[in-house]
Structure 1
Amino acid sequence: MAAATTRRHAVTVLAVSGYQTIAVEQSGPVARITLNRPEAANGMNAALTAELADAAAGLDRPDVKVVVVTGSGRFFCAGGDLKEFASAEHRGRHLKGVADNLHRAISTFARMDAVVITAVNGTAAGAGFSLAVTGDLVLAAESASFTMAYTRVGLSPDGSSSYYLPRLIGIARTKQLMLTNRTLSAQEALSWGLLTEVVADDHLAARADELADQMAATAAGSNGGVKALLLGSFANGLEEQMELEGRLIAARAETAEGREGVDAFLAKRPPKF
């Protein structure tokens, strides 16, 4: 990482160099990944998904407590880069590689202790829609829109959408989105349960920073525990899930964060995580 000249809350912003299709920076415990192909609507090509997977792995560290994912320009992400796919000698093999790297990134985001905030600044289509709703907290600008768009070009969903969407909105609505390619406005997506919050376009970045700072003050291990428990909840029976809860809360009680949290509560002071 190389130190940049800008500062956020008096903390030096460190920019990660070497990426061509994304921009990565870290300010204290908060990291930001920006999909950075505005000339191509931040479309996912082989380079972008490979870099996204690499960045996710690189940020899966104890000092990173929040990861914000957003897009540059007017789009969050318009989905896969169809021009690149069409030019590939072996389309299926090429597309499988692109999807594999996107899936590696999403898997890392889902399992890292850091809270992942997706800040959807514009259209999220196809894999962009899929990525958007994987955030632990999902913010969207008022002008953002969401559409699956896969079957429109004869393809099928990827990017974990067939896992997350049924859990978020149920099978019937998932089929409607995937089969009819209905476009949802940000307010519709919020009412369906796909988003955490909708904010004015010109306030999205500030609200993402505000929420990131709020999460950065919390216990990373506890946040990771929440994510791990919820990720497995649909696959486990009641007793298995409760056993996992019991074991995890006992383990958390022995950690420095657990001790500090309890001690701070009893002392009636803010915890220092």
Structure 2
Amino acid sequence: MKPIIKKINNGVATLTLNRPEVFNSFNREMALLLQDELDACEKDENVRAILLTGNGKAFCAGQDLKEVTSPELNPGFKKILEEHYNPIIERIREIEKPIIAAVNGVAAGAGANIALACDIVVAHEKVSFIQAFSKIGLVPDSGGTFTLPRLIGFQKASALMMLGDKVSATEAETMGMIYKVTSVEDFTSEISKISETLAQMPTKALGMTKRLLNESMTNSLKEQLDLEGKLQIEAAQSEDYAEGVDAFVNKRKPNFKGR
């Protein structure tokens, strides 16, 4: 079986991590293939939103430790970070299409931080998030030390990363780590609703919004205001803006194309 399953439906590309026998932990093959599939989604005009999820009981348990402890298979941490995780995080943030993490089970280590790098994170009530690195003498990677403090604050992020506490989906929602928690029964339908809604929206403007949020991490207020102005002018020249205004004036549902 391929370690990534890809399906496209109604403008949504679903990428499913598919190593359920090891809780979808990453090996080199899966990491490189995920990068390839994200690149393909970025280039495909038929893909308006990307949904990342896992097959089986877990979303992703992080790095496959059997790979890093195998003399034959171990690529080394330098290669794992520079060629596996860092490029995945960079793609998730740089692709100007909405990316939703549908966290269907435990998200640990790099698996948690990959989920948190996505634009919208939804989990069901039995899910947990774990910054598991300290349990084995490692430091957080996959952008976790950048993303988590900005989501939940320095003090909380520091404690979770040092203590390795398990955080339930409900707790994660309360502290602002994720967007929404659902019941197990409603999880699939809620994910479909959110992803298909995003795919039908003016995705060119959503991509610009994502760029603004990225830049806000380091910009001054003046720099951010200038960038907002630049991108607002660009958005106002889009086909989607013209369609949105016409639909509003004529009291009809807009038909956005992402252009």
TM-score calculated relative to the size of structure 1:
0.89
Stretch deviating more after TM superposition (219-228 or 198-207): 198-207
Residue 226 of structure 2 is aligned with which of 225, 243, 260?
243
Offset of 1:90 from its aligned partner?
8.7
Q: Is 2:172–2:178's contact at 8 Å kept on the other side of the alignment? A: yes
Stretch deviating more after TM superposition (175-184 or 109-118): 109-118
Q: Which amino acid aligns with 1:27?
A: N
Residue 262 of structure 1 is aligned with which of 222, 245, 259?
245
Residue 200 of structure 2 is aligned with which of 204, 217, 225?
217
State the partner residue of 2:69: 86
> Structure 1 CA distance, aligned partners of 2:232 and 2:139?
40
Q: Is 2:67–2:73's contact at 8 Å kept on the other side of the alignment? A: no
1:132-185 CA distance string (max 9 Å, x none): 111211110111001111011111111111111111011111111110001101
Q: Which runs of 5+ in 2 are unaligned?
A: none
Residue 146 of structure 1 is aligned with which of 125, 129, 132?
129
Structure-to-structure mapping, 1:1-273, within 5 angstroms: 20-61=2-43, 62-88=45-71, 94-99=76-81, 100-273=83-256
Q: Is 2:10–2:196's contact at 8 Å kept on the other side of the alignment? A: no
User: Whose relative contact order is higher, 1 or 2, with alpha carbons under 8 Å and at least 6 apart?
Assistant: 2
Q: Which segments of structure 1 move beyond 6 Å, counting only runs of 4 or more? A: none
Offset of 1:225 from its aligned partner?
0.8
Q: Is 2:3–2:29's contact at 8 Å kept on the other side of the alignment? A: yes
Offset of 1:89 from its aligned partner?
5.5
Offset of 1:102 from its aligned partner?
2.4
Q: Is 1:118–1:135's contact at 8 Å kept on the other side of the alignment? A: yes
Tell me the secondary structure at the aligned position of residue 142 of structure 2.
coil
> Structure 2 CA distance, aligned partners of 1:58 and 1:158?
25
Q: Is 2:123–2:187's contact at 8 Å kept on the other side of the alignment? A: yes
Q: Is 1:60–1:108's contact at 8 Å kept on the other side of the alignment? A: no
Q: Which amino acid aligns with 1:146?
A: F
Identical pairs, percent: 35
Tell me the secondary structure at the aligned position of residue 201 of structure 1.
coil
Offset of 1:113 from its aligned partner?
2.4
Q: Which amino acid aligns with 1:158?
A: D
Offset of 1:64 from its aligned partner?
1.2
Give the superposed CA RMSD: 1.5
1:76-111 CA distance string (max 9 Å, x none): 1111101110114695x5233232322212222212
> Structure 2 CA distance, aligned partners of 1:34 and 1:174?
28
Stretch deviating more after TM superposition (96-105 or 137-146): 96-105
Q: Is 1:111–1:224's contact at 8 Å kept on the other side of the alignment? A: no
